[in-house]
Amino acid sequence: MNEIPLTHILFVSTALFFIGMYGLFTRRNIITMLMSIELMLNSVNINFVAFNKYLFPDKLDGLFFSLFIITIAAAEAAVAIAIIINLYRSHQSIDVDDATEMKF
């Protein structure tokens, strides 16, 4: 069996990154926007692990970096959800179109 080449994996991760970006720009529900951001962060994780496995198998930097990204993404999501709960209390909605008091 042939090994999957690195370019295929990079294609997947880049596609995932831009799918996440597209989701962030088009979705109007804040929870879904948060999920899109997680998608972007996970594509970076794929990148790091793939680079580590294919190009620098004797190093561990990339693996450690992806572990830290996972941890920090969790912390970020915790704070974001706390903020969203508070937003829901004041606006009775988690739609970004309803939170438009400040413009220009």
Partner 1 sequence: MSSTIFILLRQELLLSLLIFLLLFIKIGKERSNESILNIINVLLFINLAAGLFGSSEGGAFNGMFTTNAFIVLEKNILNLAMLLISMQSYAWLKSHKQLAEFYLLLFTSLLGMFFMISSGNLLMFYLGLEMSTIPLAAAANFDLAKRKSSEAAMKLIISSAFSSGILLMGISFLYGTSGTLSFDILTAHISNNPMQLFGFLLLVSGFAFKISAVPFHLWTADVYEGSPVAVTAFLSVVSKAAVLFTFTSILYKVFTPIATVWYGVLVVLSVATILIGNLFALRQDNFKRFLAFSSIAQVGFILIGISGSSQTGSASLVYFVLIYVFSNLAAFGVVSVVSALTGKENISDFKGFYKTNPFLSWVLTIALFSLAGVPPTAGFFGKLFLMMAGAAKENYGLITFAALNMVISFYYYLKVVKAVFMDENEQPIQKLSIPVITKFAMYICIAGIIITGLASMVYDYIYSLSIGM
What are the angstrom distances between the C-alpha of 3 and each of 12, 19, 54, 62? 16, 26, 10, 20
In the chain, what's the furthest Cα-to-Cα distance? 58
Name the residue type at position 37.
I
Q: How far apart are CA 84 and CA 61, in angstroms?
A: 34
Query: Minimal distance in Å, beta carbon 82 to partner 1?
Result: 7
95 binds partner 1 (CB under 8 A): no
16 binds partner 1 (CB under 8 A): no
Residue from the set 4, 70, 72, 93 that interacts with partner 1 by CB under 8 A: 72
Residue from the set 70, 86, 93, 95 that interacts with partner 1 by CB under 8 A: 86
Q: Which helix (H) or strand (E) holds 86?
A: helix 61-91
Contact between residue 30 and residue 94 where contact means Cβ atoms under 8 Å apart? yes
41 binds partner 1 (CB under 8 A): yes
Q: In the complex, which residues of this chain contact partner 1 (CB under 8 A)?
A: 17, 20, 24, 30, 33-34, 37, 40-41, 43-44, 47-48, 51, 55-56, 59, 61-62, 64-65, 68-69, 72, 75-76, 79-80, 82-84, 86-87, 89-91, 96, 99, 101-104
